[in-house]
Structure 1
Amino acid sequence: MELEFLGTGAGVPSKGRNLSSLALKLLNERNEIWLFDVGEGTQQQILSTNIRPRKITKIFITHLHGDHLFGLPGLLSSRSFQGGDTPLDLYGPPGIKQYVQTSIALSDSHLGYQIRYHELKDGGIVFEDKTFKISCQQVDHRILCYGYRIEEKPHPGELLMDLLADYHLPNGPILGQLKRGEQVKLADGRVLNGFDFLGPSQSGRIVTIIGDTRYTDASVQLARNADVLVHESTLAGSEKKMAHRHYHSTSAQAAQIAKKAHVQKLLLNHISARYVGHKFYELLNDARKIFPNTYVVKDFDQFEIKLNQQGDDSQ
């Protein structure tokens, strides 16, 4: 599981930061990539990565402001030309379906795959299967905006081969059955229960991605015990009043969310173009005074999220 930031700027693109887009790469887990927001120029950013649009199976839009979705019609169109023929699930506030369908129709574009629209009117679980659960909750922005919580289901324990040594089992289907916790009957009539040969299960990873918002307790709930929290940080702590007026957060407020929620790592995103050069450290220092394990991300930064590696600061 890996996060790759395709755009980390706020409002308008700058020379150093493109507009909001974040890829959650689940290539080992599902052979899929999920995108969160698709700001203008996202597909141009993708050209500088190893991301293949055909691997993108889900897109989550936090809200319908242009800096978070103006790149969506182009990306959806290009996916057809780049081998994407499988259905794509698109999640977002009411209006996202009309926006996409109008853009596609007026530009006489044709998609070679189905888009399954999921317009979110309330918080709660929006997707769940045997490996992941995704939920959303409304945060406090000028228009309807959601934060997303991605929870991986627990991993089965490792097969304890030392306990199986006396059975002299060959590599093959029998070991696979035991790994899945199934019962196996051997040639000599003995029955083995897979659960007797498994180590303790491993907790799944949790990633929380917060769209544009003022400070709100909803963010704390979404981020509770997350391995990684991605939170907007448009302004520094000295601009608290301005942030509130424009329905945004400061880096210090994001750090307070991370501390209250007991997350492992905070990644600050959605950075105003005013924070260039040495001003970058104003955001970082404000946050680290409250929550030390904080990073201000840049375009193309990648963060691996490892199993049972909580507290790991590697990037």
Structure 2
Amino acid sequence: MSLILRFLGTSASRPTVERNVSSIAVIREGETLMFDCGEGTQRQMMRYGISFALMGIFFTHMHADHMLGVIGLLRTLALQGRTEPMNLYGPVGSEKLLWRAITLGSEKQHFEIKVFEVTPETPLKRHGYSIIPFTVEHGDRTAIGYHLVEETRLGRFNPEKAREMGIPEGPLWGKIHKGETVQLADGRTIKPGELVGPSRPGRRVVLTGDSRPSEGTITAATGADILIHEATFATEEAPRALETGHSTAREAAEVAAKAGVKKLVLTHVS
């Protein structure tokens, strides 16, 4: 089961020649989710082959470098003839500003748009996984991170052994993988345990958005497969990071170590 992260913008408050401002696309089994949508995100989507058939956009907070891109992106979706509803999610207090962005320069909506203010620790359940918002510390700005948690996954199916056993590729493979016992045309009965390994824990991805190091992030990221943590400043600029509600790269690494994550990815780098 595929799970792909595409970093469409890793720069801090302003873009550079090489890097755009904040946005991450998460592609899971063909479903594309977006986390933050800074200015120019739709150009980055084109550049890196990200589908415009988004299933939802999740905002960590309402600073311009994290949400201005939604204005042009929604216009493009309308010009492309989108008819499916679009859901936008953000922290408490974000709905008014998001609607100002949605209606800026356009009096008519060509497809349904819904805005949801999410509550920390309240899961947004989807097919096979959930997205759980959690509180982060970003100065006096209301901000949240997101924790993507998959449900327990099926064990790995052994296609080589299935071929050796003479089981024809097709629907029977799917049935066995899903735990069904099947009977072959020659009368043999095949049990799932012969070809399917033990169930596997779901993968977990945690994104902080802009944030100071916090216990909330450590709790959400404990044992996670990937922690995507902002690292706006270097260690020598730690006082500036504290003043502006951001983190240094060292602080992000300390959070990752305390949480015991498998992989740390730094973003929002000045």
TM-score normalised by length of structure 1: 0.76
Q: Distance in 1 between matches of 2:39 and 2:130?
A: 28
Q: Indicate yes or no: 2:47 matched with 1:48.
A: yes
Q: Distance in 1 between matches of 2:236 and 2:116?
A: 39
| Matched length | 267
Q: Which amino acid aligns with 2:135?
A: Q
More displaced, 59-68 or 89-98?
89-98
Q: Indicate yes or no: 2:66 matched with 1:68.
A: yes
Corresponding position of 2:25: 23
Q: Which amino acid aligns with 1:140?
A: E
Gap regions ≥5 residues in structure 2: none
Corresponding position of 2:13: 11
Q: Which of 130, 134, 141 is matched with 1:133 structurally?
A: 130
TM-score normalised by length of structure 2: 0.87
Corresponding position of 1:201: 199
Q: Which of 244, 251, 254 is matched with 2:252 structurally?
A: 254
Q: Distance in 1 between matches of 2:19 and 2:165?
A: 59
Q: Indicate yes or no: 2:35 matched with 1:33.
A: no
Q: Distance in 1 between matches of 2:18 and 2:254?
A: 27
Deviations 1:206-243 (A, max 9, x none): 21111111111111112112222111111111121221
Gap regions ≥5 residues in structure 1: 273-315
Q: Distance in 1 between matches of 2:57 and 2:103?
A: 20
Q: Which amino acid aligns with 2:5?
A: L
Q: Distance in 1 between matches of 2:159 and 2:119?
A: 49
The CA RMSD over aligned residues, in Å, is 2.5
Q: 4+ runs of 1 displaced by more than 6 Å?
A: 161-167, 187-190
Change (3 A) 1:112 1:165: same
Q: Distance in 2 between matches of 1:95 and 1:107?
A: 22
Offset of 1:44 from its aligned partner? 2.3
SS of the aligned residue for 2:75 comes to helix
* 8 A Cα contact 1:182 1:195, kept in partner: no
Change (3 A) 1:7 1:180: same
Change (3 A) 1:77 1:239: same
Offset of 1:36 from its aligned partner? 0.8
Identity %: 36
Q: Which of 120, 123, 139 is matched with 2:121 structurally?
A: 123
Q: Distance in 2 between matches of 1:167 and 1:48?
A: 45
Q: Which of 199, 210, 213 is matched with 2:211 structurally?
A: 213
Offset of 1:139 from its aligned partner? 0.6
Q: Distance in 1 between matches of 2:254 and 2:200?
A: 28
